[in-house]
Chain A
Amino acid sequence: MTDRTQSPVGASASTGTAPRYWTTRRRDQLAAYLFITPQLIGTIVFVLIPLGLVGWYSLHEWNVLADTFDFVGGENYQALLDDPKLPGVLAATGIFSVGLVILNLGLALLLAVLLNQKLRGTIVFRTIFFSPVVVSLVAWTIVWNFLLQDNGGINGLLDAIGIAGPNWLRGEGTAMAAVVVVQVIKNVGLNMVLFLAALQGVPADLYEAAKMDGASRWRQFRAITVPMISPTILLTSIITVVGALQVFAQIAVLTQGGPGTSTTVLVYYLYQQAFQFHHFGYGATLSVLLFGIVLLLTVVQWQMRRKWVFHES
């Protein structure tokens, strides 16, 4: 049944009685290999080989100006450990990621719960909250750069109600907060939509039963809503953390990593080292570090799913 032969093909057909080589199964196999070839070659050439090269480059001292490429073993990794800027860079990366995840998921969940009420006009609000997602990232960041100037729109509005705003992007404490908020407003719509879809999948009779038992709204939220949508919380937190580690354009446009290194996240530092200072070997070492962090976080989150993701079997 599985080896049902098809209409005759090529030379084997003329022999009639001989078993046909091009059975449906074999032709299916060939088709499958042809179908996946572009993706497979692409992954090998543009992902796996470069990943191997990153490891190889990280063991070399690479001077672009003198055109030298010398094997130095673990020297770049030693330099990484000795880099006085690295603790600041890792701290900035950590603060940005944690701040982004907490604010983004919190706000997304709040918006989703508000929009999940049976109210008129929620579709308008949904559209408003989602719209920054489709605006070009750099255009969005430029506008916020303009808004957050010392004499910009935000401080103008604050002044109108009698508050003297700080120079947001130049202050040690405020620069990072500003970058996080700009990024949250840009992307929170995506998580909001995912949460909305999850909320709509929660069976209504669970809430009915809870109401009968006299559970408060907050208790219903904690005891029913959160456990029921926990797979979506896991998914959005993975997407958001990995996205946070990749932030680049916002930093490049808003703060250039300053003041000091307070907003120099890992990808921005990697870009500076490799493409501004032409330290390709060290840039590759930083890439290995970035890859390690992404891998570690993904594994940790995947392991944690057992702990806090509720499965309805």
Chain B
Amino acid sequence: MSRKGKLLIYGALCVLALPFLFPTWWMVTSSVKPDIDIFTFPPQLIPTSFSLDAYREVFTLQPFARQYFNSAYIAAVVTLGTLAVASLSGYAFARIRFRGQNVLFLVVLVGLLIPSEVTIVPLFQMFHTWGMIDTHWPLVLVPIFGAPSVLATFIMRQFFLALPGELEEAARMDGLGRFAIFWRIALPLARPALAAVAIFTFLHSWNLYLEPIVFLSTPELFTLPQALTQFVDAYGGPMWNVQLSAASLTAIPVLVVFVIAQRQFIEGLAHTGLKG
């Protein structure tokens, strides 16, 4: 490619990158500006004075550490649970022939078609009947067993379909049962698919917003996305530097993990979309 062409592409990429980079930069720099500097004009791209007051307020206005823990443990439990449920059923649908297989697979696939927003009203009523409103149960049970994990099952099935049959036959000759074949042969080979499913399940749980605001009302039980919007003053207006500090605390750890492991992240997610 010509020098001019290269420069043109680099130029286009740099301009296009601005709206992707600027928000994060603006979030972090604004969060360390003293209150009065936030809306100064012209905008301070580099803060002139530095203050961590807003970060202190994040933890005093709300049980933010607790909310952080809630989000982290819910996402961890949901991820592990989804991996277990989806790899088991994905394996069975891919590798075992059994009566009713196609019908049952269709039943499960219906879950792919139905956005969780469609069923939020009856789910609220069901969990109300079971006395689980204002607990974490709905945020854990529905993603692990319900519609969100169906996509995971589908991805695991696509992956297991591609495994060569000889490995399993050899294991069978050695006298291994089905679960042993699944656990010791198929699952270790499925690591790329498991990683992809783990990444998107974790992100999905970490981002949930509608479900927490419908199911939870006690601040100690809130998850991060829900907690972020609660930093408001007496008139309901957002406390900007506190919201931005809290948002930074939420976004930065995931961003750091992403930059370190970005190759696995991107390829993992690309795989989930491509197969099938």
Q: Which residue of B lies closest to A273 (CB)?
A: B121
Q: Give the chain A neighbours of B41 by CB distance below 8 A.
A: 151, 156, 159
| A39 touching B1, Cβ below 8 Å | no
Q: Do A50 and B122 contact each other (CB < 8 Å), given the known contacts A28-B96, A128-B20?
A: yes
Is the CB of A310 closer than 8 A to any CB of chain B? no
> When the two chains form their complex, are residues B85 and A129 in contact, meaning their CB atoms are under 8 A apart?
no
- Please, which residues of chain B bring their CB within 8 A of the CB of A198? 274
| Distance (whole angstroms) from the CB of B276 to the closest CB of chain A | 8
Q: How far is the CA of A242 from the CA of B115 in the complex (A)?
A: 8
Q: Are B270 and A271 in contact (CB under 8 A)?
A: no
B258 touches A134 (CB 8 A): yes
Q: Does A260 sit within 8 A of B, measured CB to CB? A: no
Q: Which residues of chain B are near A197, meaning CB under 8 Å?
A: 270, 274
B251 sits at the interface (CB 8 A): yes
Interface check B161, CB cutoff 8 A: no
CB distance from B100 to the nearest CB of A (A): 9
Does A257 belong to the interface (CB within 8 Å)? no
Q: Given the complex, which residues of A lie within 8 Å of B76, measured CB to CB?
A: none
The residue of chain A having its C-beta at the shortest distance from the C-beta of B1 within the complex is A117
- CB of A127 within 8 A of CB of B262, answer yes
> Is B54's CB within 8 Å of the partner chain A?
no
Q: Which of A1-57 contact B (CB under 8 A)?
A: 6-7, 24, 27-29, 31-33, 35-36, 38-51, 53-54, 57
A275 at interface (Cβ–Cβ under 8 A)? yes
Q: Is the CB of A131 within 8 A of B119?
A: no
CB proximity to A under 8 Å, residues B244-268: 244, 246-248, 250-251, 254-255, 258-259, 262, 265-266
CB contacts (< 8 Å) of A135 on chain B: these are 24, 251, 254-255
Closest to A291 in B: B118
Report whether B206 and A193 are in contact in the complex, using a CB–CB cutoff of 8 Å: no
Interface presence of B107 (CB below 8 A): yes
* Contact assessment for A143 and B85 in the assembled complex, using a CB-CB cutoff below 8 Å: no
Find chain A residues with CB under 8 A from B172 CB: 24
Chain B CB within 8 A of A126 CB:
yes
Interface contact A284-B24, CB-CB below 8 Å = no
- Bound-state Cα–Cα, A290 to B26, Å: 37
Q: Which residue of chain B is the closest to A150 with respect to CB atoms? A: B39
Asked whether A47 and B273 contact (CB < 8 A) given A53-B125, A248-B209, the answer is no
Q: Which of A31, A54, A137, A246 has the most CB atoms of chain B within a 10 A radius of its CB? A: A31
- B107: A residues at CB distance < 8 A: 40, 43-44, 48
A31 to B97, CA, bound (A): 11
Q: Which of B6, B114, B262 contacts A291 (CB 8 A)?
A: B114
| B164 adjacent to chain A (CB < 8 Å) | no
Cβ–Cβ contact B269 & A125, under 8 A: no
**Which residues of B have CB within 8 Å of A27?**
177-178
**Interchain CA distance A274-B119 in the complex, whole Å:** 12
CA distance A307 to B247 in the complex (A): 45
Contact call B229/A32, Cβ cutoff below 8 A: no
Which of these, A239, A248, A291, contacts B210 with CB under 8 Å? A248
| Partner among B119, B179, B274 whose Cβ is within 8 Å of the Cβ of A47 | B119
> Is A105 engaged at the interface, CB distance under 8 Å to the other chain?
no
Interface hub of B91, B145, B226 (most chain A Cβ within 10 A): B145
Question: Given the complex of chains A and B, what is the CA–CA distance between A119 and B6 in angstroms?
Answer: 8
CB distance from B158 to the nearest CB of A (A): 13
* Chain B 111-129 interface 0/1 with A at a Cβ cutoff of 8 Å (1 = within): 1011101111111111000
Pairs of residues from A and B, 6 with the lowest C-beta to C-beta distance, nearest first? A42-B145, A46-B146, A156-B43, A53-B122, A35-B92, A31-B178
In addition to A24-B172, A29-B98, A137-B207, 16 A-B residue pairs with Cβ atoms within 8 Å of each other are A36-B104, A43-B107, A43-B150, A48-B107, A48-B110, A50-B119, A136-B224, A139-B246, A139-B247, A249-B209, A249-B225, A252-B209, A253-B229, A271-B120, A291-B114, A298-B113
